[in-house]
Structure 1
Amino acid sequence: MLSSVVDSSLRHRNSEDDGMDGSSPLYHRYGEQSISSREGSHHSQKLALFRPSADTVDLGYHTLDNNVCRIPSSPSTAITARKQLFQQRHIYALGLCDLDDTQLLKIFSWLSTRDRCALSQTCRRLWEIAWHPSLWKEVEVRHPQSASIALNTLARRGLYTSIRRLVLDGATSLSGVFNSLPFSSLTSLSIRHSKRVSDSNVTTILDNCIHLKDLDLTDCGSITKAYTRIAALQLQTLDLSDCHEVNDSGLVLSLSRMPHLSCLYLRRCFCITDTSLVAIASYCGGLRQLSVSDCARITDFGVRELAACLGPSLRYFSVGKCDQVSDAGLLVVARHCYKLRYLNARGCEALSDSATVALARGCPRIRALDLGKCDIGDATLEALSTGCPNLKKLSLCGCERISDTGLEALAYYVRGLQQLNIGECPRVTWVGYRAVKRYCRRCVIEHTNPGFSS
């Protein structure tokens, strides 16, 4: 998207550079020439951005040409319509250009990448404001085929030194732009859903973007590792979710260069095993957030090793749908990770009340807990009601042993509860539902019982 707009802006500027001496009405700030003297050049100009009338068809920002407007066939009516259109354009450009640069920069800072590029096509002054480096600290390119072109365009203007956050959604090619340009200010990079991004591309990025702190490679199917030749990266967040080719050896190699990593997401990385969890515990001692949900090869051994090494530094932990994780692993979590705030154990069907009661007593700071499809009952809810007073979100979906007794105890003591999922809990009746509604007045309740009133 950005590349198409940028290229359109460049083509327009090149074609109109010869007319910068005042031949175009949009380049005059104070309107020295009369309307009649400029009607002849009207057909060769781009339309300025204005609020479209009822007879205007919006075909997109890059097609805002005069042929878009439905001008009546009558010559006299057409001339009148063109005069009115010109007046709207001229007043619009005149109003913006009357502002000083500081005010214009403030206005442009609230616009999207697409809108800034579109406004840059209206006049020379707005073109200069739109390409001010301070406006290009965050860039999003969501046109898959043109990510490389867009980056090269920004590079030609020297803006790569200003970019701090860059999003390339679905990029099909990067063509070595990170190899030739050191993005010295880049701290956050997201390359999501890019099937053609390879390990060598990622290595080049990590080698050249030395200040990078956040890297998101979600659904980059060809990635096996995020390796760099630099001894130690400043990277703090790494997201490799849905990178199905990532395995233990590649992850161990990657983590060996990331001593400052605090957030790691490995959702649906099906190839990783307990070896990866042992490596995480060894190389990333300050890790605060970890998700290995849907990684079916993770077992209690890896969870125990991880919890024992990370201890209180771990605040967010997800083992959802890791069906080999049971009480043996989460008992160690309850013993060592007493600062835990979020736990997702959905689908761990071997989990019972013994582990969840220990979690409620050992991790009093828990605010969000997902125990869906676990073999737990009212004992867990009673332990949560006394052990976790700050609980805000709780999912019990599919917990068939939960009943009204446990819900009443939970609702009475944990009145700050904001979200509760009791779907597919056959033993919960309107009595438990009404207790939650009575004591937890801000709670949003999800359920599958048609008998419950809203």
Structure 2
Amino acid sequence: MATPADLPDSVYLEIFSYLSVRDRIRSSRVCRRWKRLVDDRRLWRHVDLTLYTMRPKVLWHLLRRYMASRLHSLRMGGYLLSGSQAPQLSPALLRALGQKCPNLTRLCLHVANLTMVPITSLPCTLRTLELHSCEISMAWLLREQDPTVLPQLECIVLDRVPAFRDEHLQGLTRFQALRSLVLGGTYRVTETGLESSLQELNYLQRLEVLGCTLSADSTLRSVSRHLRGVRKIRLTVGGLSAPGLAALERMPVLESLCLQGPLVTPEMPSPEEIVSSCLTMPKLRVLEVQGLGWEGQEAERVLCNGLPHCSVIVRPCPKVSMDWWM
């Protein structure tokens, strides 16, 4: 009869990949074989540390012992809600990530106090930077900073970053490799700030504006004026009307459009008006409607029948953080 010891290494690696970092390291103490398998570089390509409040000493150990050149993607929690005596992410630790992890391309920071951490500390290899419920200083992301910072940055997610404002948005224009921008709950960004920034960010291919104070109509008008090469748009429908949606008509390369509730107003376009606008978009292949109360009703039938060339998705509003989008 076969025993667990007879299982091939590939099966063990698959099992270990579902374990948390803490349980994975504990497993390495079982036997020499498991220690060797836990050390496999494939288990350390994508690491999630957001489940723990780790002391800096432990983070340094993980960095030296397990991650290093193996690491491609890292999720890391801060200690913003843990009191003033809690350890904080330091410039030294983030600089070490850049020095010891040359293949790190995605960094997601959650609930972190970055007010004393300069953006120059971040690894220059990053292609994706996500900030979720983080505090940043006014000096972050300003246009006057060193233009060589984050030269490969392609995507930035700003989810509930209260200090982020028009000046920071304008500062994003120095990232020439930037193609995806996600703004979630950035209530200090104004319609004027978005308009002036998109004039220079005309190379964006993906824009998401969710849960902000910006009117959907004004956002779409800015998009139609400046982002003619945008391929994906996702926005909250607060302030959306049929004339505002019509601003997207004949967008030449738009492939995916998502309209997300729950801020539905009486001016919200009807399903027939949405179909009419979408039919003018030659490349549109995905229409997603979330949280508008239309799932399982007549509206879904109208959208599906009116847009046979599109994949139409109608579902409730997501109940999770903005991590879903990646």
**Matching residue of 2:48:** 167
Per the alignment, do residues 418 and 189 of structure 1 end up closer, same or farther by CA in structure 2, a change over 3 Å counting? same
More displaced stretch, 260-269 vs 111-120: 111-120
Classify the secondary structure of the residue corresponding to 2:214: coil
Identity of aligned residues (%): 18
**Matching residue of 2:247:** 358
Classify the secondary structure of the residue corresponding to 1:344: strand
**Matching residue of 2:205:** 315
Superposition map of 1:24-423 within 5 A: 92=3, 96=6, 104-112=8-16, 113=19, 114=23, 118=27, 121=30, 127-128=32-33, 130-132=35-37, 135-139=40-44, 164-169=45-50, 170-175=52-57, 177=60, 181=64, 183-192=68-77, 194-195=79-80, 196-200=87-91, 201-220=93-112, 222-224=113-115, 225=117, 227-228=119-120, 233-243=124-134, 245-252=135-142, 257-281=149-173, 283-311=174-202, 313-325=203-215, 327-349=217-239, 351-362=240-251, 364-372=253-261, 373=264, 375-378=267-270, 379-387=273-281, 389-395=284-290, 397=292, 410-415=303-308, 416-421=310-315
Cα distance in 2, alignment partners of residues 117 and 422 from structure 1 = 40
Higher helix share: 1
Contact 1:178-1:204 within 8 A present in 2 as well = no
Classify the secondary structure of the residue corresponding to 1:361: coil
TM-score normalised over the length of structure 2: 0.73
Q: Which residue type is aligned with residue 420 of structure 1?
A: V
1:133 CA displacement: 7.2
Q: Which residue type is aligned with residue 307 of structure 2?
A: V
Contact 1:298-1:325 within 8 A present in 2 as well = no
Of structures 1 and 2, the larger Rg is shown by 1
Deviations 1:165-201 (A, max 9, x none): 3322223312272798492342222113544332423
Cα distance in 1, alignment partners of residues 60 and 28 from structure 2 = 27
Contact 2:300-2:314 within 8 A present in 1 as well = no
Aligned residue pairs total: 289
Q: Which residue type is aligned with residue 208 of structure 2?
A: S
Cα distance in 2, alignment partners of residues 410 and 418 from structure 1 = 7
Per the alignment, do residues 342 and 108 of structure 1 end up closer, same or farther by CA in structure 2, a change over 3 Å counting? same
1:109 CA displacement: 2.0
RMSD: 3.6
1:107 CA displacement: 3.0
1:238 CA displacement: 0.5
1:348 CA displacement: 3.4
Contact 1:255-1:280 within 8 A present in 2 as well = no
Q: Which residue type is aligned with residue 49 of structure 2?
A: L
**Matching residue of 1:9:** none
Per the alignment, do residues 250 and 213 of structure 1 end up closer, same or farther by CA in structure 2, a change over 3 Å counting? same
Cα distance in 1, alignment partners of residues 291 and 121 from structure 2 = 46
Contact 1:320-1:348 within 8 A present in 2 as well = no
Per the alignment, do residues 366 and 348 of structure 1 end up closer, same or farther by CA in structure 2, a change over 3 Å counting? farther
Deviations 1:404-425 (A, max 9, x none): 7x877643331344322599xx
Contact 2:182-2:207 within 8 A present in 1 as well = yes
Contact 1:300-1:326 within 8 A present in 2 as well = no
Classify the secondary structure of the residue corresponding to 1:206: helix
**Greater RCO, CA 8 A, separation 6+:** 2
Cα distance in 2, alignment partners of residues 360 and 396 from structure 1 = 23
Higher strand share: 2
**Matching residue of 2:324:** none
Per the alignment, do residues 184 and 304 of structure 1 end up closer, same or farther by CA in structure 2, a change over 3 Å counting? same
Classify the secondary structure of the residue corresponding to 1:137: helix
Contact 2:159-2:186 within 8 A present in 1 as well = yes
Cα distance in 2, alignment partners of residues 289 and 385 from structure 1 = 25
More displaced stretch, 166-175 vs 253-262: 253-262
1:256 CA displacement: 5.6
Deviations 1:309-349 (A, max 9, x none): 232x4232122222234544431312332343332321532
Cα distance in 1, alignment partners of residues 43 and 147 from structure 2 = 27
Q: Which residue type is aligned with residue 199 of structure 2?
A: A
Unaligned 5+ segments in structure 1 are: 1-87, 97-102, 140-163, 424-454
TM-score normalised over the length of structure 1: 0.54
Deviations 1:279-330 (A, max 9, x none): 111x21221221111111111222223322232x423212222223454443
